[in-house]
Amino acid sequence: MSFSCKNYDYNDDKCLMLKQECIPGRPGCVLEGRIALSEALTERIKALEQEKNSSKTNKK
């Protein structure tokens, strides 16, 4: 990781604030809307949203 975030847990490679995987710029992240996302990060966030949507659809 080439940046430093006070919420990043280096031991666990996770976000302490969101208690999930650190994906800079993801919804809820302190950087959301404040940084230009690389293509790779945009893809990870899209995949995350799709995962969330499919888990919502599967819950009945």
Which positions lie near ligand SF4, rule CB under 6 A? Answer: 5, 7-8, 15, 17-18, 22-24, 26, 29-31
Minimum CB–partner distance for residue 53 and ligand SF4 (Å):
20
Paired strand residues for 6: none
Distance CA 54, CA 34 (A): 27
The minimum distance between CB 18 and ligand SF4, in angstroms, equals 5
The span from the CA of 23 to the CA of 27, in Å, is 9
Min CB(40)–ligand SF4 separation in Å: 15
